[in-house]
């Protein structure tokens, strides 16, 4: 096993656990990713910490993502949102 400070993190291991919350009929995917060479955990960026069935959240150390999921219904969910970020496009002054 490499030391984290000498590792370039070329290979990864992801663990995904899918949990069914029976009493409220919801599903949650819990995801953790680590470097398989040095075992350094990876942080999820741009996601708030906490717990919610309405949107993804991370653990307090940002190393586990909990994302609500549902069976695919054959069309986009009514609350689906698509956002794109292009670093070349700057917001205009209003």
Give residue-wise pLDDT tens across range 1-50.
677 788 999 999 999 999 999 999 999 999 999 999 999 999 999 999 99
Token pair for 68: 């609500």
Q: What is the pTM of this model?
A: 0.75
Q: CA–CA separation, 10 vs 67, rounded Å?
A: 25
Per-residue model confidence (pLDDT) at position 44: 96
Q: Do the domain assignments include residue 13?
A: yes
> Is residue 38 in some structural domain?
yes
pLDDT at 65 over 70: yes
* Assigned domain for 56 exists: yes
Q: Residue 58 domain-assigned?
A: yes
CA 5 – CA 21 distance, rounded (Å): 39
Q: Count up the domains in the chain and report the number.
A: 1
Residue 50: domain span? 4-69
Quick check: is 91 in a domain? no
């Amino acid at each position: 096993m490499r030391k984290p400070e000498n590792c370039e993190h070329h290979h990864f291991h992801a663990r995904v656990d899918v949990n069914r919350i029976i009493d409220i009929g919801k599903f949650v995917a819990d995801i953790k990713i680590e470097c398989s060479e040095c075992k350094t955990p990876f942080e999820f960026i741009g996601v708030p910490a906490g717990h919610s069935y309405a949107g993804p959240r991370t653990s307090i150390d940002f190393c586990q993502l909990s994302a609500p999921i549902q069976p695919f219904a054959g069309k986009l969910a009514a609350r689906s949102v698509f956002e794109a970020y292009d670093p070349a496009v700057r917001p205009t002054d209003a």
